[in-house]
Structure formats: C-alpha cells, structure tokens
Amino acid sequence: MNLNPKKILVAGDFMLDVYTIGDVQRISPEAPVPVLRVSDESRRAGGAGNAILNLVSLGMEVVALGRVGVDEGGDHFVQALADEGVDVSSVMRDPSFQTPIKNRMIAAGQQLVRIDYETPSTLSSTLENEISAALPTLLKGVDMVAISDYAKGFLSPPLLCTLIEQARSYQIPVVVDPKGRDFTRYRGSTLIKPNLSEALTAAGLGFEATLDEVAHHILQEVGIETLMVTRSQEGISLFNGETRQDFPAQVHDLKDVTGAGDTVLAVVTAALANHMTLAEAAELANIAAGIAIERIGCARVSKSDLYTRSSVLNPK
C-alpha cells in the first residue's frame, strides 16, 4: 500500500505552540526554581494545527476549518499553515476570541514548565451559521474529514452535528479525536479515537470496568462504527462491532508524548483515505505514535519515517 495524496478537511481548535529552549545552570536566588537561559524560540501551529502539519508531512492536501483571534498569535498560526501550502481560507478570525498560546520551556531535552494563554469561549451563533452555510462548498472533493477537539469552544454541538451530517450525506468518512465526557456530540462519526483515560471517563462505568465493557458501551451509546483507544505504552486497541484487535506499542526511546494523539489522528485519516483496512490504519498509526514520542515537542512524522519502519507501506 502507498499513502497517495488525498484531500482532507481538518476541523478543530487552533492554537499556537511556542518552544522556548535554553539551558539551566543555576537555581534562582528569588525562589527555588531553575533559571532558564534562553538560546532559541520557535513558533508552530498547534492543537488541530499539529494534526494538519502531520497530514502535510504525509503528502495530503489539507483544508483547515477553525478560528483564531485577531491577534499576533492568530497571525503566526495562519502564516505557519499557509507556508506549508494548507488552504487557510476557512480559518475564521474572531475579534472576541484570543488565540490560545502554549509556551513550553525546555532545557536539556526536558520540559520544565508550560505556560498557557487561553480563554475558551463558545463559538458565536453568527460564525456558527456562516460556517454551516459554507460546508457544502467546503466538502466538495474532500476524501476524509478529521475532527480535532481540544474543548476551546469552536466545535459547538450544533456545528459538530451539521458537519458530521453533511459529511455523511456526501459519503465522506469522519474520524474524531474527542474531548470531554459526552461522546454523543460525535454521533454518526465513522471512527472515534480517545485515549484510555478519555474512554473510561466518557463511558462512566467506573475505573473498575474492563476495556471491553467500556468499548461496548461507547459503541452502543454513541452510535459509531469503530472505536480506537490509544493506551500509551500499551499501544492501540481497535474495536469494530464485536471484534477487538490489539497493537502493541513500538517505541525505541521514549522522550515526549506531546502531540502523539494528533499524529495518530493524522495517520489514521490518511490511511483510511487511501482505502487501507482499519487494521492497517491502526498498525500504521501505532508505528507513527512510537516515532513521535521519540522526539521532543509536537513532532511531524513523514512518509519516509513510516516507510522505514512499516511493512504496511511499500514505497514506489
């Protein structure tokens, strides 16, 4: 199988990731905290933007659907995606919203602290109606829809409902990286991929429930075809109907789990867009997650990375 270019619509919460890198040689005399002497700083598209960047690295054509504020963070975010060839015409600028910024302070490959600038706010009805009206045009020629929910307010229940229904009407599969306790917000999706903690919380069966019980409850309650649960060092478990498949983690050197979920979302979406089986998509995503957490920060996994480690792909 090959990962050929496909058109993917990514809808979700956008934010700016800032990496402040330096070294620590002493403790502050003002408080028992390390003093970071900064040597470099970089800005990257984060949140759903990280899934977009991974899709670009996999050779996909991406349309971004989300919102940023009318601020410097929003400017940096939009420019970062535009520089990668992403269609940013549907990134809404909301003057009442502050673009979320996550600043990670890093020394010697270790994250010391993360500083968040954010005020989640619900999408206004005006923007909600504007986006809903534009969906039929946005979805033309799209092979897959990926939803990356970070609970920052963009993916309102009415917008989610309209987006999923519209995609289904065009027979476009929808893959969701969910957030929160209520997975019924994503009813009608093709596949939902929570991590283990998110799945346990959403099922509401108590932490003594088995993973099979949790999966069965979510599949029935939400009305989806497939549930993919990422389980950190335990790998990925795939539930489709009464069938369960487990894919052990493949990690050579664990460094940073930041953004691994975005990597899985991107790879699963690209794989299914290329008509791979669910098992092939899960295996490929498992390998990609292993590569991502061997790197510092939100890493981008490329096709060449996957070709090196995966027997699923056969490069031409």
The residues carrying an active-site annotation are: 262
- With both helix axes pointing from N to C terminus, report the angle between 260-273 and 48-57 in degrees, rounded to the nearest 10: 50
* Side chain identity at residue 136, one-letter code: P
CB atoms within 10 A of CB 79: 13
Q: How far apart are CA 43 and CA 18, in angstroms?
A: 5
- Residue 141 Ramachandran class (φ > 0 left, ψ -120 to 50 alpha, else beta): left
Coil, strand, or helix at residue 224?
Answer: coil
Q: How far apart are CA 45 and CA 86, in angstroms?
A: 12
SS (H, E, C) 112-177: EEEEEECCCCCCCHHHHHHHHHHHHHHCCCCCEEEEECCCCCCCCHHHHHHHHHHHHHCCCCEEEE
- For residue 231, CA distances in Å to 74, 194, 237 come to 33, 9, 7
Residue 43 has φ and ψ, to the nearest 5°, of -125, 135
Residue 95 has φ and ψ, to the nearest 5°, of -65, -15
Residues 249, 259: contact at Cβ < 8 Å?
no
